[in-house]
């Protein structure tokens, strides 16, 4: 058990559901993590993620993203959330020099709008922000882990930080490093879990990279997610680019087994 | 296979974490919420043990309060037989966790045990030395989650 800055005992409760095709763990730490208000707020996290899945899932034929890809829906008629994500994707592409892109080969090998590389981080960051601001959550610390992308917020600057381990992609039962975080996100892009699923925007094929994984941490999980994907695509040469992004730090694992730390540890 | 592994891992993980409290306090007391023990000095606002101030520390100068040696926990009945875990403490840290009683009999059970123990060893040694709350890695699918360290942490806090 940890003690809060006020000296009250704190307990932590985790709720796990499977949504968006992945396990999502919501941890709440504080004086009353089992109480009615917290339980209701945690339910709203899963409701939000279900809504995101209905709009954005590339595996649901009736999602707005799939309908956009097929040409059955125009972006101007899409849900405001979809349009917001599309704008973010444009900014992400600009900020990463094209290493991140939402224009990817889709059904029938046509290039179409696929924001999957940004949606998860964006959705989880929103979930954590809403959860931390919900009634009954004052004085509580929250963490959401969606399949390895993590966002956290603590209720006070004196709170015990959340400890986040970075999995070693070469041996997924051990950790490379741990990060202490009171507010922000950690995202990892790589091939260890799902194989060569990240496409190179230049070729449309699985990216040929000298990295096994790229982990990025910073104030906003949506951007950490984008930068992790972009860093992975760029390879070890991208470490210098990553260093130019204020507020974001990274850990890259190369195919030769070496670690590259970008930014202050 | 996976569900069995989950149950064995969750049971054994919980058991090992409870054991670590038992050995550090020299008492039968267990916490109601087996969070991973925090290393000392990790934060200024409190610590992760339940030792009350003034109680003598039973360790021999180790930072975590665990006494060196090998400790065997009580046998825990699982659907597939009894599982006992022995932990080895060296330099105040758990350096190994081994299942010492296999669920009896068939080849299937021996396969389960051979799979679960090596993964558990790494998890226990790494998780307890850094007391982590979450793991970031390449996206874990729902299938992969069951065998993941995150699932062991989540199960301990459910």
> Is A22's CB within 8 Å of B126's CB?
no
Nearest-CA residue of chain A relative to B36? A1
How far, in Å, CA of A128 to CA of A221, rounded?
10
CA B142 distance to own-chain centroid: 23
Query: Is some CB atom of chain A closer than 8 A to the CB atom of B46?
Result: yes
Of B119, B127, B115, B120, the C-alpha closest to B80 is B115
pLDDT > 70? residue B73: no
pLDDT at A107 (0 to 100): 63
Q: B38 in contact with A at a CB cutoff of 8 Å?
A: yes
Q: Alpha-carbon distance B54 to B103, whole Å?
A: 43
Residues B112, B134: Cα–Cα separation, whole Å: 26
Question: Which pLDDT score is estimated for B69?
Answer: 77
CB contact under 8 A, B157 and A13: yes
Task: With CA atoms as reference, report the closest residue to A78 among A94, A67, A93, A91.
Answer: A67
- For β-strands A162-168 and B134-136, DSSP reports them as parallel
CB contacts of A14 in chain B (<8 Å) are 153-154, 157-158
Closest CA of chain A from B111, distance in Å = 19
| A176 touching B (Cβ < 8 Å) | no
Q: Does A188 touch chain B (CB under 8 A)?
A: yes
So what's the pLDDT on residue A32? 84
The CA distance from B115 to B107, in Å, is 12
Distance from the A77 Cα atom to the nearest Cα atom in chain B, whole angstroms: 31
User: What SS3 string covers A77-141?
Assistant: HCCHHHHHHHHHHHHHHHHCCCCCCCEEECHHHCEEECCHHHHHHHHHHHHHHHHHHCCCCCCCE
Count residue pairs from A and B with Cβ separation < 8 A. Answer: 152
Condensed to tens digits (0 to 9), the pLDDT of residues B36-50 reads: 333 333 333 332 322
Find chain A residues with C-beta within 8 A of B133's C-beta: 12, 27, 143, 162-164
pLDDT score recorded for residue B87: 66
Measured distance CA(B69)–CA(B96) in Å, rounded: 11
B35, B43, B122 member nearest A174 (Cβ)? B122
> Is B118:B12 a contact under the CB 8 Å cutoff?
no
Kindly state whether A75 is in contact with chain B, defined as any CB-CB distance less than 8 angstroms: no
- Predicted pLDDT at A53: 95
Instruction: Say if pTM beats, i.e. exceeds, 0.90.
Output: no
Among candidates B42, B45, B140 on the partner chain, residue whose Cβ is nearest the Cβ of A193: B140
pLDDT at B75: 61
Span B125-143, pLDDT tens digits: 454 444 788 888 876 677 6
pLDDT in tens, chain A (265 residues): 444 445 556 788 999 998 888 889 999 999 888 889 999 999 999 999 999 999 999 889 999 999 998 889 999 999 999 999 999 999 999 999 999 989 887 666 677 888 988 999 999 999 999 999 999 999 899 999 998 899 999 998 888 899 998 888 877 767 888 888 999 999 998 876 555 567 676 666 777 778 889 999 999 999 999 999 999 988 888 788 888 888 899 988 888 878 888 875 4
Q: Do B145 and A23 touch (CB under 8 A)?
A: yes
pLDDT of residue A258: 82
- CB contacts under 8 A, B 121-140 vs A, are 122-123, 126-127, 130-140
DSSP class of residue B29? -
Q: Classify A32 as helix, strand or coil.
A: coil
Q: Name the minimum distance, in Å, from the CA of B124 to any CA of chain A.
A: 10
pLDDT at B94: 66
The confidence score (pLDDT) of residue B9 equals: 52
pLDDT digits (tens, 9 = 90+) for B5-26: 454 555 555 544 444 333 333 3
Does B106 contact chain A (CB < 8 Å)? Answer: no
Q: Of B18, B154, B137, nearest to B76 (Cα)?
A: B18
């Amino acid at each position: 058990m940890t003690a809060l800055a006020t000296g009250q005992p704190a307990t932590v409760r985790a709720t796990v559901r499977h949504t968006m095709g992945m396990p999502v763990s919501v941890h709440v730490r504080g004086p009353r993590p089992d109480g009615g208000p917290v339980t209701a707020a945690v339910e709203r996290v899963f409701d939000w993620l279900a809504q995101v899945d209905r709009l954005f899932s590339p595996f649901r034929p009736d999602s707005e993203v799939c309908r956009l890809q097929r040409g059955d829906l125009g972006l101007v008629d899409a849900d405001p959330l979809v349009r917001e994500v599309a704008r973010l994707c444009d900014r992400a592409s600009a900020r990463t020099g094209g290493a991140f892109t939402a224009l990817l080969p889709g059904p029938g090998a046509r290039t179409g709008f696929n924001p999957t590389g940004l949606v998860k981080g964006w959705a989880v960051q929103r979930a954590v922000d809403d959860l931390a601001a919900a009634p009954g959550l004052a004085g509580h610390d929250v963490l959401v882990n969606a399949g390895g992308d993590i966002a956290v917020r603590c209720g006070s600057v004196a709170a015990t930080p959340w400890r986040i381990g970075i999995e070693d992609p070469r041996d997924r039962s051990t950790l490379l490093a741990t990060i202490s975080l009171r507010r922000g996100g950690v995202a990892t892009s790589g091939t260890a879990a799902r194989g060569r699923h990240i496409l190179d925007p230049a070729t449309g094929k699985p990216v040929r990279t000298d990295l096994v994984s790229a982990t990025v941490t910073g104030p906003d999980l949506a951007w950490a997610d984008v930068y992790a994907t972009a860093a992975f695509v760029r390879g070890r040469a991208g470490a210098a680019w990553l260093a130019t992004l204020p507020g974001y730090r990274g850990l890259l694992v190369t195919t030769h087994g070496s670690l590259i730390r970008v930014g202050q540890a | 296979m996976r569900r069995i592994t989950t149950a064995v891992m969750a049971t054994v993980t919980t058991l090992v974490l409870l054991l670590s409290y038992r050995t550090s306090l020299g008492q039968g007391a267990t916490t109601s919420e087996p969070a991973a023990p925090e290393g000392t000095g990790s934060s200024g606002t409190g610590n992760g043990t339940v030792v009350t101030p003034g109680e003598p520390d039973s360790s021999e100068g180790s930072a975590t309060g665990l006494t060196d040696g090998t400790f065997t926990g009580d046998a825990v009945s699982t659907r597939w037989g009894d599982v006992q875990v022995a932990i080895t403490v060296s330099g105040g840290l758990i350096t190994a966790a081994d299942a010492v009683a296999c669920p009896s009999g068939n080849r299937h059970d021996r396969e389960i045990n051979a799979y679960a123990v090596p993964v558990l060893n790494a998890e226990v040694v790494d998780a307890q030395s850094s007391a982590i709350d979450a793991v970031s890695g390449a996206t874990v699918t729902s299938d992969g989650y069951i065998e993941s360290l995150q699932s062991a942490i989540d199960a301990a806090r459910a």
